[in-house]
Structure 1
Amino acid sequence: MPFWIAAAFLTLLACLPLLLPLARRNAALADDSGFDVAVYRDQLAELDRDAARGAISETEAAEARAEIGRRILKASVPVETQAAEEPRGQGFSRVGRLVASAAVLAVPLASWGIYAAIGSPGLPAQPLSARLDKNPAENTIFELVVRAERHLDANPEDGRGWEVIAPIYQRIGRYQDAATAYDNAIRLTGSTAAREIGLGEALTAASGGAITAEARGAFERALALEPRNPKARFLTAAALAHEGRSAEAAAAFRALLDDLPEGSPWRPTVAEAVSDLEGRQAPGPTAADVEAAGLISDKERAEMIGEMVAGLDERLRRNPDDPEGWQRLVRSYAVLNRADDAADALKRGVAALGAQSEAAAELRQLAASLGVNGKEQAQ
């Protein structure tokens, strides 16, 4: 019985906003008409003042008084008369209001009848605490999360508990909570490749798909722990590609592809990544390419080599972190006897790779063997 009393009360509250306008329509009309008459009388007074000042002519004033008078007469007609004279299709008559009220009340009445027939009003309440005391196999995933959170609140140093809840958070879209859980699991139980990968993936998802420096660090730690782990290798290569280091990413993906067995489910994805990155790189000519060009005419050879070298130069301007690419560019310009361009490429390559780096030292050594003047030192 308490259930039906509560249901009736709530239904009444829900219906009142619809029923009250229907019941109070006449009062509303009366209030509106009284307000309109007051406004029209103010307009008449204003009109008299304008006529006295000579702001409008007597003819215009007379016409305006007549129009305002008609509006006052219309607004002064009793509400019952207005309702009787109201054209069909405008507003509600008494019958219309009764029909509308019955329609509003029919919805909850029908709902009560259907629920009484097929529902379970006698079913006892099931508060969250009672549901959590059930067999865990009968809990929903969200109830399981609440159980785990209660356990971790009471036992915050339970590393295994954090490791269990982390992938659940990830699955239900609570990515930042998943990252925190993985971080706690690593702090309490130690670092493993699986935990570091989970942390990196959670951080990436929390940032909207961007591989942050923190996520990349997690992938690299996983790779250091398990150098042959295909997922760690794939994600580390993906981080390089995300940073624009296409040459390094392509090499990492290519090495992974070469190590994967033929039946590995990773092969199609890795092969696609290699194809995409190598297709964007436009690698430029090797020494063999330049020598092979001697089989065609001088003009065609010059055009072909020029296009290849220009493509390599443009790629290195966009992605300068490519030691092998800089060596190719300097060698190509030297073979073409373009000494100034070779020296400029040497200068730009050393600056991009870092003047004190091993890659820059190798580039200088190659340039010296080709007789390229080290203009990069005169800055």
Structure 2
Amino acid sequence: MVFWILISFVALAVTALLGLVLLRAHALDEPPAAYDLRVYRQQLSDVDKDLQRGVINESDAQRIRTEVSRRILAADAQLQQQAQGGTQPKALSGIAVVLSGAVLLLGTIGLYWQLGAPGYGDMGLQARIQAADIYAQNRPSQTEMESEIPPLPPQEIEPGYAELVEQLRQTAAKRPQDAQGQALLAQHEANLGNFIAAYQAKETYIRIMNGDLDPKDYGELAELMIMAAGGYVSPEAEELLDRTLQLDPQNGPARYYYGLLQGQLNRPDIGYRIWADTLRMGPKGAPWITGIESQIEELAFRAGVEYSPISPAAGPAAVAPTVVGPSADDIEAAQEMGSQDRQEMIRGMVARLSDRLATEGGSAAEWAQLIGALGVLGEGTRAAAIYSEAKTRFAEDETALAQLKAAASQAGLNP
């Protein structure tokens, strides 16, 4: 309320000054030219006094009289012109004062109503930090936020891939202690947009592994929970991010989500520092770096920082992954095996390759190798599902797509 009174008073004061200027001509008893005449006449009398005191000589006195007389004639002509002409209308001046006051007062209030925060109390820095801490302690949980997220629209899924994922669900349910099966289930549920099911499978995987984990496992679980909550970083996800950064302070995805969390907690100052440091760490082109670059300018604005673009550090040169295949020892051992044992050996290698691609990703050559191997094993449905997933992963790489298509053709598919 104090602010409203203040801006109203300032607007009224400016209006009063404008009104004083507009109405000044009506408030004066005489026009300005009459005042000028009195001044010039006084100057003429002062010339005679100065001449008598010897301050000036006769020639100077004559020059001054001539100049002052000229000014008296000009002022008298101006006075006659003002007396003959019309004066500023009082009604028009009054209307101008009222309109100016209305524009200033209403315009000031209207601008603040649109750009300011009416009804919002004054909050200094310490008060804002305290409010952010209170919100951080009382913000919605993961479950509460998930209940408010509308269901995703149905996706178009190839029947073969949907059948494969359903089989994976059934297998994982029958083998609840199979860590690898839970990791695969989490990966494929995420691919389908079933983020709640995905992070639940990831939680099971972490529980089975019982601490024998990579720091990124906690970060991946946090990311799945954040996706399930529509981008909201819940207290549960925050704990996982804290654990990830304690084990690996340089973890890029975790640093991205931690900066996002600080923005959600109304601490853009902390979030900006985290994101700025992460940009400097790089590597350029990483998914989390791209996400930061698209949002950091807005976060800097909220933090009151004059943002200058930060160039991410270049990452190490990418090394083409090696396609995993049977070693020389594997080939020698396979020659001594029976047909059935050799088939089981091949299936084992294919399974290991499939698991690694699902959890860690790989090159187009590796995906093509997996598709071809499944075709040789007669698993055409599974090969089709893998081919569909691989096309999604390499949608922007024409060379990779051609390689995958060739492998699908060799596997007996109809790409």
TM-score range, shorter chain: 0.3 to 0.5
* TM-score of the superposed pair, with normalisation by structure 2: 0.33
